Structure 1
């Protein structure tokens, strides 16, 4: 009974919920189509390229800008950061970007979601004004108050932000290895196995006999 009590005590509601979830449900972040899109990127070889570019972008440009309370206007600091983003983005004309809008936890979720989207659109509009094609930019997602950097119910500037991320490519990315290469490799392997080979047998005395 003591052992059972310990096991039950170790199972939090979150652990129990996760255990009984449908297989693969943890891949669904609540946005329809994301798991399928992720699989597509992996299978077409774009995922690794996106991850690499995302890291490079985060290292070389400010990916986040912040906002005043209940406001979607861009201050001087935000514009300066977006200028640097635009300079970086301009170097990769075939790459697409997505801008996510966030708010702090003050106010209702529905209102904050709309506010986050307004902030994302403000950032996209500014990048367009700096010469970036709108077809390469998306402001289609807003996490509202649901993903704070600082967990607090009070106003927090660091939570009032947009984050720009690499999202994909304008066209189909050329693969380094395709089916034709695999067919060539297979054909070479079969041909090599069926070609005449010279057999050399070494006897116990150390002399070689060729057949």
Structure 2
């Protein structure tokens, strides 16, 4: 008898409950709060924009949490993007390959996340906006292999929400930020052309 496992996809190789418990105690409550104040849609939009405009991941050498030159270049791009949105918080998730014990890899993943947070905080970003609180260790590989896979040895930086009480947040609404983002995305030349057409 043959049993098909194709429906399981990539989750087949993950630990039981990994998709239910994402490792962040209190995240369901935070998500409910963001939905009720209307911030979640904006946070999701910023998260997609961040992922599309800068590389969200950096990779590491085997058994190392040291940032190499290529990682620092990517993190400089992340820092430039993050500085544009002083009201947004970010979370850095650490990952490892499948070599070594799960407990060691969780610790190594967290050291990698902390290395990224330390670097970003040297680039003029408040440490209070950066979290390295979750380490997935070896439980979420990009490439399922028991060997040394560099793509699995990574951190991922993501938008995690908004800074409480930031002056740009308007009663749980994000109108000022959306407006600023709209102006920046349109570009100065579009407004110049419109202004020139209006004055002629």
Distance 2:112 2:22 in 1: 22
Could you tell me which of 106, 112, 115 is aligned with 1:113? Answer: 106
Secondary structure at the counterpart of residue 72 of structure 1: coil
8 Å contact from structure 1 (residues 120, 139) kept in 2 = yes
Distance 2:77 2:145 in 1: 30
> What is the SS of the residue equivalent to 2:124?
coil
The reply to whether residue 103 of structure 1 matches residue 96 of structure 2 is: yes
How many residues matched?
A: 160
Length-normalised TM-score, structure 1: 0.69
- 1:10 deviates by 8.6
Distance in 2 of aligned mates of 1:121 and 1:93: 20
Q: Which has the higher contact order (CA 8 A, sep 6+)?
A: 2
Runs of 5+ consecutive residues of structure 2 not aligned to the other structure = 9-18, 175-200
**Deviation string, structure 1 residues 40-77 (Cα, Å, up to 9, x no partner):** 11111111011000011011111100000000000000
Give 1:167-186 correspondences, 5 Å limit.
167-172=160-165, 173-174=169-170, 175=172
State the shift of 1:29 in Å.
3.6
Question: Relative to structure 1, is the Cα distance of residues 86 and 105 closer, same or farther in structure 2, using a 3 angstrom cutoff?
Answer: same
The answer to whether 1:145 aligns with 2:138 is: yes
User: Is 1:159 the equivalent of 2:152?
Assistant: yes
2:26 to 30, 33, 38: 33
- Report if the CA contact (8 A) 2:60-2:68 is conserved: yes
Gaps of 5+ in 1: 1-8, 15-25, 178-211
- Structure 1 residue aligned with 2:67: 74
Q: What is the CA-CA distance between 1:34 and the residue it aligns to?
A: 2.1
Match of 2:190 in 1: none
**TM-score, normalised relative to structure 2:** 0.73
Would the alpha carbon gap of residues 10 and 64 (structure 1) be closer, same or farther in structure 2, given more than 3 Å must change? closer
Q: Which has the larger radius of gyration?
A: 1
